[in-house]
Structure 1
């Protein structure tokens, strides 16, 4: 089973330090972790650092990974997809990255299954340039999943989706993480999604880790006031789920 740990991880752009001293104890296979914090806090930078796209101090320790350089997959918020390709071609191209170009029947079957699971099979032969922002996010998720990563980093994957699709995608990813034994980290702005779907939460603020731990413990009134500068309450639904109600801007 794959495991991921972060030890004093940081990152810089030139001489400017944008992330420092992020430390997280071992995240294990099948886990879904929320990464939350204000805009420009350093969430995307953290994902790029974990994925090895930028350098920096500290250690990203991935143990027992079987897929080598394909073990970690970063799904950015802005996909920058080639508008000339069709959806199917883009997912197939992602599947063949780092491998030979001979296409096997089982690979085509797997692509079909992923598009169907995400309910975008009807988009298969449409050009990427024809899609809405939400549709492109779903295609980006298909491109990530077809690579069979052991660690999946999702940067605000539901920002362009309507509420129904947000719930659908997060439920699908949570269930898939459990079935496939993936470690999934997802950057979210909606803290209620974090409370509902993620057992672990990392809070990033001003380029540093503010707190990390159980989602139910981390998302509390004090954190919301200190990090987000809002007065808020944590309520409990009739079925036992907690949710955030914001009353206003903190004085």
Structure 2
């Protein structure tokens, strides 16, 4: 089972440090990790550093990985691909970029078909990317990430443009994927109630560093909400053992 740990991780643009000192315990395959924090806290920068897209001090430590750094797949907020490509072409191209070859194998076509079907966008296969709504484009971006079959997924706000039904569908799918394939799924997300519902672990980024990490019920607390988000809130127990945040006021 793959594990990932961050050791004193930092990221810089030029000479300016954007995040620093991010250290966590090891995250394990099968877990969904919600990465939360205020706007501009450094969540996207952290993902880019973990994916090796920007430089900085510290280490991303992998154990029991079959693919090494190549097994880390980053999904940015924007959609990759020319607006003239069809949905199917853009997802297949994301797959072929792993090991460019002219020949397209039958199992690659089946993988694309299965992922599009699982995300409920098979009917969009031959629509051009430029014709899609923002929510549809976001689902295609998720498909482009999944088709790479990574060991570790870094998903930057994958549900931000989706309606409530699609949000729950995608988060359920990602949780099932993590458990069935023993993948570590990191999801940057603003909705803390969704984080409480779907995440096994939570990493809080605030002021360019880690404010805390661990099991969701240990990290998302009334004290954290007051300190990091500057809100007075209550966390109440709901049906099926779920916890829910109720905001009373700003601090």
User: TM class by shorter-chain length?
Assistant: over 0.9
Q: Deviations over 1:194-246 (max 9, x none)?
A: 10000110000010111111101111111001000111100111321001011
Partner of 1:193: 194
The 5 Å alignment of 1:126-205 reads 126-205=127-206
Q: Deviations over 1:106-137 (max 9, x none)?
A: 11111111100000001000000011111111
Aligned residues of 1:201 and 1:215 also touching (Cα < 8 A): yes
Aligned residues of 2:10 and 2:21 also touching (Cα < 8 A): yes
Structure 1: 5+ residue stretches without partners: none
Q: CA deviation at 1:155?
A: 0.3
The 5 Å alignment of 1:13-52 reads 13-52=13-52
Looking at structure 1, the residues matched to 163 and 198 of structure 2 have their Cα atoms a distance apart, in angstroms, of: 17
3-state DSSP of counterpart to 2:159: coil
TM-score calculated relative to the size of structure 1: 0.97
Looking at structure 2, the residues matched to 69 and 5 of structure 1 have their Cα atoms a distance apart, in angstroms, of: 13
Q: CA deviation at 1:80?
A: 4.3
3-state DSSP of counterpart to 1:244: strand
Partner of 1:222: 223
Looking at structure 2, the residues matched to 117 and 80 of structure 1 have their Cα atoms a distance apart, in angstroms, of: 20
Q: CA deviation at 1:82?
A: 1.4
Deviating more after overlay: 41-50 vs 101-110: 101-110
**Over the residues paired in the alignment, what is the CA RMSD in angstroms?**
0.9
Number of equivalenced pairs: 250
Runs in 1 of length 4+ with deviation above 4 angstroms? Answer: none
Structure 2: 5+ residue stretches without partners: none
Looking at structure 2, the residues matched to 49 and 69 of structure 1 have their Cα atoms a distance apart, in angstroms, of: 12
